[in-house]
Amino acid sequence: MSIADAKLNKKQVVEVYSQIAFFYDVWGNLTEAKARSRALQLANIQDGESVLEVAVGTGLAFREIVRMNPNGQNVGIDLTQTMLDRARKKLGQTGAHYQLAIGDAYDLRFENARFDVLMNSYMFDLLPEVDFVQVLKGFKRVLKPGGRLVLVNMTKGEHFYQNFYELLYRINPSWMAGCRGVQLANTLPKAGFKNVSREMTSQLGYPSEILTATL
Ligand SMILES: C[S@@+](CC[C@H](N)C(=O)[O-])C[C@H]1O[C@@H](n2cnc3c(N)ncnc32)[C@H](O)[C@@H]1O
């Protein structure tokens, strides 16, 4: 099944997510909470590990990562300052140790083999398909040997009603904040990942894939 073209460039991503940051959590809880929770379970973060979340957004997963890993290193980056501000507000209440900073998935400013776990949710939905391998190779570079990757993406539905959101995107991409269904299981090995596994969830008919892989 073909993947629709991405419609937003980086500048537009920042504009759109700056505008919707204030109600992102409503959407995130209504349609993505189930997949996020399963991804955190599969990440199996052990306290003391070094964890990077790329495209941390408003911190819905990052807050849980920090809870699971109070004595480890927790780093979150995102392209959009307004989303990060929301994450900071959420995390401020935990009193835990973490770093949140502006950062680009295409240009990870971390040394090689720094992290045990890399998590990334609902970002590839926004990127051009032609860039997937390049971005995944960057993820691979910052993971330690044996490191774990956990990805969550909006994906293609298996039932007709799950393709409602894809239809909205095809009519007007801005109605989906630039997100369309993608499938990355076959792409991960091309970037050097092994032991790829894929699960699908659906919440309010919104289809998500949860992928795990190792180095
Ligand atoms: C749909 S939101 C998902 C947020 C969060 N991961 C979650 O699941 O709640 C997409 C996020 O990806 C971020 N983003 C998009 N392209 C990015 C890039 N190249 N590098 C870092 N963040 C990016 C956006 O700024 C936005 O916060």
What pLDDT score was predicted for residue 160? 77
76 close to 141: Cβ distance less than 8 angstroms: no
Pocket residue to mutate for ligand 1, from 7, 8, 38, 79, most atoms within 8 A of Cβ: 79
What pLDDT score was predicted for residue 18? 95
Tell me the residue length of the chain.
Answer: 215
Pocket around ligand 1 at a 6 A CB cut-off: 13, 17, 28, 32, 54-55, 57, 60-61, 78-80, 83, 104-106, 121-123, 126, 179
End-to-end CA distance of the chain: 27
152 close to 120: Cβ distance less than 8 angstroms: yes
Distance in Å, CA 85 to ligand 1 centroid: 13
β pairing state of 194-203 and 206-214: antiparallel
Instruction: Give me 187's structure tokens.
Output: 């792409």
Gap between the Cα atoms of 101 and 91, Å rounded: 13
Distance in Å, CA 83 to ligand 1 centroid: 8
Task: Enumerate the domain spans of the chain.
Answer: 10-214
What pLDDT score was predicted for residue 162? 76
Gap between the Cα atoms of 62 and 40, Å rounded: 10
What pLDDT score was predicted for residue 165? 82
**How many angstroms from the chain centroid is the CA of residue 123?**
5
β pairing state of 143-154 and 206-214: antiparallel
pTM of the model: 0.95
Gap between the Cα atoms of 144 and 24, Å rounded: 32
**How many angstroms from the chain centroid is the CA of residue 139?**
12
DSSP state of 4: P
What pLDDT score was predicted for residue 1? 60
Gap between the Cα atoms of 98 and 156, Å rounded: 34
What pLDDT score was predicted for residue 202? 93
Three-class secondary structure of residue 182 per DSSP? coil
Instruction: Tell me which architecture the domain covering 10-214 has in CATH.
Output: 3-Layer(aba) Sandwich (3.40)
- The list of the chain residues with pLDDT below 70 reads 1, 93-95
What pLDDT score was predicted for residue 102? 98
DSSP state of 47: T
Tell me the one-letter amino acid at 210.
I
